[in-house]
Structure 1
Amino acid sequence: MMLTRNGAKTGVEPEAHSTAQPRPAHAGLRIAIMTDETGWHTARLKKAFRARGAEARCVDLADCRIDTTWQPHGLALPGFGRTLPDAVFVRGIAGGTFEQVTLRLGILHALRESGVPVYNDARAIERSVDKSMTSFLLHRAGVPTPATWATESAAFAQRVLMREAAAGRQVVLKPLFGSQGHGLKRLGARRGVLAPLPSLARYQQVAYLQRYVTGERPGFDWRVLVIGGRAVAAMRRVGGKGWIHNFAQGAVCEPAELDAPLAQTAVLAAAALGLDYAGVDLIPDPDDAARPLVLEVNGVAAWRGLQSVTPLDIATALADDLLDRKLAATPRQAGEQAAGSAVAGLPGDVRERLA
């Protein structure tokens, strides 16, 4: 769906995902849910795929491998033998060393290169997990977001802090990678005294600074869920630990109206990062009530808190979008197509040996 800045279409159509509508069966399809832990989210996803006739199984990316002896495609996924899944839903990627995370993302890249629809794919996840790239892409796309600086220079970061403090503003220091409100630190002058920039050792020697935004209605932010280019549900996260309003930090979830500015801004943010589904965090702009500001975009978004305040079956909406939009763009089952493409690209004598 094409979107325009003037709000021609905001995608506020959650009823389109109603479970009451007939949905085509996808019997025989095999879906890999990439996750490092199973529980509430994966159980609901498996149930939603099963209702569509598809079999979904959980796979840990750490257990997958690139194996060039594993014919015909060179990828080995537990539970799929020498075939590939018809589609992949990325629910979670475990942390690890730089090399481990690179390999896990490489598996997702390789699946996409093999013709398997990956939801969200590695390119989009890389953009969303790196807060500096998220800020750059939002800014480039014209999506309203607070002023942001990302640097390895502690001296430059200190100068930013001093300039912002001189203007009566504060900044938030965040880990470049991280979620759920962990590691955030608000910096600025207190009682007229400006404390120095904290050591960046805890932040892996990278300073990601974002201007702290205050307004007449502090104490909450919005989380909007975007699926397939449409904003389908929203909530307000109220309270939590001080000024941090994450559900994981004790915030209370309340239903929120998906008005046009909120929906349109969230949809544009997800599109800027190329995400199939996204949890977009926004706050009110004290200078423009019709223009919320995007703080972060989560490419592996949890939705347990949001599910508690919306009648929309979120897992069903996600499964429907993957099957009806993402997978529908593939002319044949992805695993068969990928294997066929791989074999077709081999020399004739090799194809004969594999036949």
Structure 2
Amino acid sequence: MTSFLLRQNGLPTPPTWVLRDRKEALAIAEHELAQGRMIISKPLFGSQGEGVRRIEKMLDLFWLTDSRGIYYLQRFVECHGNGYSDTRVFVINGRAVAAMRRKGTFWLNNVAKGASCEPVEVDAELSELAVKTAEVVKMDYAGVDIIREKNGDYTVIEVNSIPAWKGLQSVCEVNIAEWLVEDLLARYLDDKQPRLQAVAS
């Protein structure tokens, strides 16, 4: 549903397929591989990269399994530059308050899978994409994972409604817990806008 909403609203995200029929899932995977593209198989519900597989060759189709009766496939996106990296932007109530670059030791960039974190400046394009993404999927809080593709364009690969932010907090100057509490008080108690200022780091 997230990928559908993003594409429907003109936001960049990789082609994604959600299917129940194994034969259809295999046919799509085989077509992508034949075109020289890899795909990712994801569980419907999960976190920290658990259950995510990359299908690189026909033999890998042996590992193509459903998640609660659903096959969730997404075209693999190769990132700009050398190695593997993406950017996690933390959005709170329509504002991009902090971001980090995650550099993986392999193609999966989750901190729980050994990726390192470093601060990154949120430019206007990155901020706008993250904020619009959270708005489209109607999330007050979101961790928006964005990759810069080989051609230099940004694309959204994941939107997390309950994002882990321990790694992000370790490399940014913004006090994320304070931001969350401030926003909660502002919207549900004081009916005021947050008073803190976002700091790009």
TM-score by length of 1: 0.51
1:269 paired residue among 107, 122, 133: 133
CA 1:138–1:328 in 2, change beyond 3 Å: closer, same or farther?
A: farther
1:221 paired residue among 83, 86, 90: 86
2:104 paired residue among 239, 262, 268: 239
CA distance in 2, matches of 1:147, 1:180: 22
CA 1:309–1:151 in 2, change beyond 3 Å: closer, same or farther?
A: same
Kept in 1, the 8 Å contact 2:79–2:86? The answer is: no
Structure-to-structure mapping, 1:177-188, within 5 angstroms: 177-188=45-56
- CA distances 1:89-118 after superposition (whole Å, capped 9, x unpaired): xxxxxxxxxxxxxxxxxxxxxxxxxxxxxx
Q: Kindly state the Cα deviation for residue 322 of structure 1 after the two structures are TM-superposed.
A: 1.4
Equivalent residue of 1:317, what SS? helix
- CA distances 1:313-336 after superposition (whole Å, capped 9, x unpaired): 111111111111344449xxxxxx
Kept in 1, the 8 Å contact 2:79–2:85? The answer is: no
**Structure 1 residue aligned with 2:14:** 146
**Structure 2 residue aligned with 1:21:** none
Consecutive aligned runs of 4 or more in structure 1 exceeding 6 Å deviation: none
Structure-to-structure mapping, 1:23-102, within 5 angstroms: none
Structure with greater Cα Rg: 1
CA distance in 2, matches of 1:252, 1:215: 16
Q: Kindly state the Cα deviation for residue 210 of structure 1 after the two structures are TM-superposed.
A: 0.4
Letter in 2 for 1:277: Y
Structure 1, unaligned runs of 5 or more = 1-132, 331-355
Find out whether 1:160 has 2:22 as its counterpart.
no
**Structure 2 residue aligned with 1:315:** 177
Report the identity percentage: 47
Q: Kindly state the Cα deviation for residue 196 of structure 1 after the two structures are TM-superposed.
A: 2.9
CA distance in 2, matches of 1:146, 1:224: 18
RMSD (Å), alpha carbons: 1.7
1:324 paired residue among 162, 183, 186: 186
Structure-to-structure mapping, 1:111-126, within 5 angstroms: none
**Structure 1 residue aligned with 2:197:** none
1:253 paired residue among 113, 117, 120: 117
Kept in 2, the 8 Å contact 1:158–1:197? The answer is: no
**Structure 2 residue aligned with 1:230:** 95
Equivalent residue of 1:232, what SS? strand
Kept in 2, the 8 Å contact 1:157–1:197? The answer is: no
- CA distances 1:24-61 after superposition (whole Å, capped 9, x unpaired): xxxxxxxxxxxxxxxxxxxxxxxxxxxxxxxxxxxxxx
- Please state which structure has a larger fraction of its residues in helix: 1
Q: How many pairs are equivalent? A: 191
2:165 paired residue among 281, 287, 303: 303
CA 1:135–1:326 in 2, change beyond 3 Å: closer, same or farther?
A: farther
Q: Identify the range of structure 1 (257-266 vs 321-330) with the bigger mean alpha-carbon deviation.
A: 321-330
Kept in 2, the 8 Å contact 1:226–1:266? The answer is: yes
Q: Kindly state the Cα deviation for residue 273 of structure 1 after the two structures are TM-superposed.
A: 1.2
Letter in 2 for 1:313: N
Find out whether 1:196 has 2:30 as its counterpart.
no
Kept in 2, the 8 Å contact 1:161–1:197? The answer is: no
**Structure 2 residue aligned with 1:174:** 42
**Structure 2 residue aligned with 1:11:** none
CA distance in 2, matches of 1:197, 1:137: 31
Kept in 1, the 8 Å contact 2:147–2:156? The answer is: yes
